[in-house]
Amino acid sequence: MADGDEAQRSSTSGARSPEQQAVPELEVAYPDEQLGAKMGIEITEWDPARVVGTMPVTGNRQPFGLLHGGASAVLAETIGSTAAYLNRIGERRPVGLELSCTHHRSALSGLVTAVCTPASVGRTVGTFEIVISDDEGRRVCTAKLTCVYRDATPRA
């Protein structure tokens, strides 16, 4: 990996990397009490063109021992929303509008990895494709997240 590429890789756990210093909101956006953290989701790489994250299957299974489809949806929305945020214009913030998931196969153990790429990003709407794969690189789920970009409003 080239020196310039190192700034494009990061993790939400551990010390702040140069990437997190450049986008500190991402570190703040995923505190321990949030759903993604409770499910063990880690964002391992982020850049406007590609966001990658992982999630353990253990702890995110349905009663039959398979990765829960809802867990895949949470992973997809977490990674897709991060990509939407990185692709925003100015201070506009992405808000999820639609999430669709197609589950192709089950995962029983290990980690699943989500890779998100922008399909179309405009000033008002962004659509992102998320592919979730198992440890062997087999596609587990394909998701599409559409976000609308809204003007930032102050928090109460």
Map out the domains of the chain with their CATH numbers: 3-150 (3.10.129.10)
pLDDT bracket for residue 59 (50, 70, 90): very high
Q: Is pLDDT above 70 for 11? A: no
14-40 per-position pLDDT tens digit = 333 344 334 555 655 566 668 988 999
Q: Would you tell me how many other CB atoms lie within 10 Å of the CB of residue 94?
A: 24
73-92 per-position pLDDT tens digit = 999 999 999 999 999 988 89
pTM confidence score: 0.81
3-state secondary structure of 56: strand
Query: Phi first, then psi: what are they for 7, rounded to 5°?
Result: -70, -15
Task: Give the active site residues.
Answer: 77
Helix (H) or strand (E) holding 76: helix 69-86
